[in-house]
Amino acid sequence: MAVDPQIAAMLAAMSEWPGVRAVPLDQLRQAVRDSSIALPPAADAVVARTEDRAIAGTDCPVPAGPVAVRLYWPIGKGPFPITVMMHGGGYVVGDLDTQDMIARALCAWGETIVVSVDYRLAPEHRFPAGPEDSYAALVWAHAQAAALGGDPARLAVAGDSAGANHACALALMARDRGGPALRGVVNIYGSCTYPTNDTPSAREFADGPILRGDDVAWFWEQYLADPADRDDYRASPHCAASYAGLPPHFVGTAECDPTRDDAEAYAAKLAAAGVPVTAKRYAGMVHGFASWVGFLPGARAVLRDAADFLKTVFAQ
């Protein structure tokens, strides 16, 4: 499978990446942040305004202090639907700035308020801190919807990579905890499983580009402290006993990604359980490609498709 020519040219101009295991954590976080905030948003992903806030975290089962969120409002007159979004970064890196371009695209093109969540990161805060912070943000968004100019009856969750795993876990958590009810889930290259299985994509792209098989393993090592956590659907939605009652899912995968087959297997598992699924593989793309929405046609495509999915489920 051939990597998109534009991506191949970018990679050729970059120095060789040694893999996350070889980089000190503080340097890894700074490198990801620096490279991410240098990326432009899509010129036509224009939002009305943004606002940073701190919301109360959850005390059960992992005590948390305030959770930072960034709110994005679309242009127009509300009440708007609301999408709670979690950033990627292997549960270890990332913040409200690193996937700002994705949040802006979903807000503008999906015509939805976006609540971007700065959930706690491993290894300082291991599982289940991340999904529990994200669930607290979902509950807050539902409770504050009217005050935000939103519609509490039209809620969705979204994420990329690790954030997509959180989003898929939130759908299960919301179902099992009695709400809030969701209209849809956007999963952009989230594998939804631990461990990464011995799939064709895991073998073919074990050395990348961008994400390596050993990188995936290292991220999971930082995230999960107790081996029993591997079977918890908040960490691995593939482990859920049932998918009954889940809302429609959008699953967008990158063709040249070691986690591709796991994400597509999750989509197939949902569909087999009767969950409406819109799944699409993006040719020539690599893990993380959605962040390049400012200049890469494939990135625009996946976020346009995700935004169209959101508008469709919100209209139902």
Sheet strand arrangement including 277-286: 49-55, 67-73, 113-118, 80-86, 150-160, 184-188, 249-256, 277-286
Distance CA 117, CA 114 (A): 9
Query: 36 catalytic, yes or no?
Result: no
**246: CB partners within 8 A, 6+ apart:** 171, 172, 175, 185, 270, 273, 275
Q: Are 87 and 163 in contact (CB under 8 A)?
A: yes
Would you put residue 185 in left (φ > 0), alpha (ψ -120 to 50) or beta?
Answer: beta
Q: Are 184 and 315 in contact (CB under 8 A)?
A: no
- The one catalytic residue in 36, 134, 161, 191 is 161
- Which of 232, 235, 231, 266 has the alpha carbon at shortest distance from 249? 266
Query: 261 catalytic, yes or no?
Result: no
DSSP H stretches of helix in 144-259: 145-148, 162-176, 200-204, 213-223
- The one catalytic residue in 151, 287, 291, 305 is 287
In the block, residue with structure tokens 């169209």: 308
CA 154 to chain centre: 19
Query: 161 catalytic, yes or no?
Result: yes
**297: CB partners within 8 A, 6+ apart:** 6
Burial class (CB in 10 A: 0-12, 13-18, 19+), 146: exposed
- The one catalytic residue in 257, 261, 262, 305 is 257
Burial class (CB in 10 A: 0-12, 13-18, 19+), 302: buried
DSSP state of 111: T
Burial class (CB in 10 A: 0-12, 13-18, 19+), 297: exposed
Positions marked catalytic: 161, 257, 287
